[in-house]
Amino acid sequence: MAEELVNMQNRRVLVTGAGSGIGAAVARQLARLGARVACLDRDGAAVTALAETLQADAIAIAADVSDGAVVARALAEADEKLGGIDGVVNSAGIVSVKPVTELSLDAWRAVIDVNLTGTFIVSQAAIPYLRRATNPAIVNISSAQALSPIAGTSAYSASKGGVLSLTRALAAELGPQIRVNSICPGLIDTPMNESLKTKADDGPPVPLDRYALRRWGDPDEVAATIVFLLSSAASYMTGASLAVDGGRTYH
C-alpha cells in the first residue's frame, strides 16, 4: 500500500536547482518512479546532461529563478512539453558563509534573491498550472539553518527562515486545493557544501557532534522525503516543515 501511495507514475513535476545536489537527486528519484520531470537550473549544460540520463519525458530548461520573466517562460515551456504541471520542487539555492560585519549588501541581496525571492517567483508562476492538476503540491527547500543558525550564515539563514514563513503563508492561501510543505535539510553532501568538509570560513571543520547520527546526509535521503511530500501519501499534510538533518536541530 505504501509503495502505491508514493507511485509518481505519469506525474508531471518541475524541479528547480536540478543541475546538482538535492535537486538532481529529486529529479532522478522522480524519474525512477515514473514521473515526467522538467529539470530547471541556471546551468543549462548541467540540466541538459541530467535530463539525457533520465528518460524521454524529462526536459531541461535553463533559467534563473530570480528573474520573473524568465521563470514565466520556463513554466509555460514545462506545461507545454509535459502536458501540465502537478508538482513543483523549489530546490534552487546559493550559500554565503561570512561574518555579518564582512557581508556586503550585494552578497546579501544575491542570496535573498535566489533562495527566498526565487522560491516566491516560481511558486507564484506555477499556481495557474497547479490549479488545473489533481493533488497538486509544492515542496520548498528551507534549511536546518532556519531552525538553528550558526555564526557566519546571516544571509543564508534569513533567506531560509523566510522560505519557512512563505511556505506556511502559501499553504494557508492555496488550500484546500494546493498543498505546500517544506523540508529543512542538515549537512548534506552536495557540491554547494563541498568547502564545509574541511573548514567553514577559514575555521575548523564542521563539527559532526552536533548531529545525532554523526555523519553527513546523502542527497538521496533528502530526495526521498521530498517525493513523499509530493505524493498521495502526504495528502493530509500542508504548511508542514520536516527536519531532514540527522538530528541536528534537536541535539
- Residue reference for cell 545525532: 212
Q: In what order do the strands lie in the sheet with 87-90?
A: 59-62, 36-41, 12-16, 87-90, 137-141, 179-185, 241-244
For 35, list phi and psi in degrees, rounded to 5: -80, 160
Please answer whether residues 63 and 14 qualify as being in contact, where contact means their C-beta atoms are separated by less than 8 angstroms: no
DSSP 3-state percent helix, strand, coil across the chain (nearest 5): 50, 15, 35
> Any catalytic annotation for residue 129?
no
d(CA 46, CA 21): 11
CA-CA-CA-CA torsion sign (62, 65, 66, 68): positive
Q: 3-state secondary structure string, 171-191?
A: HHHHCCCCEEEEEEECCECCH
- State which H helix or E strand residue 87 sits in: strand 87-90
Q: Which of 129, 156, 211, 236 is catalytic?
A: 156
The set of catalytic residues is 156
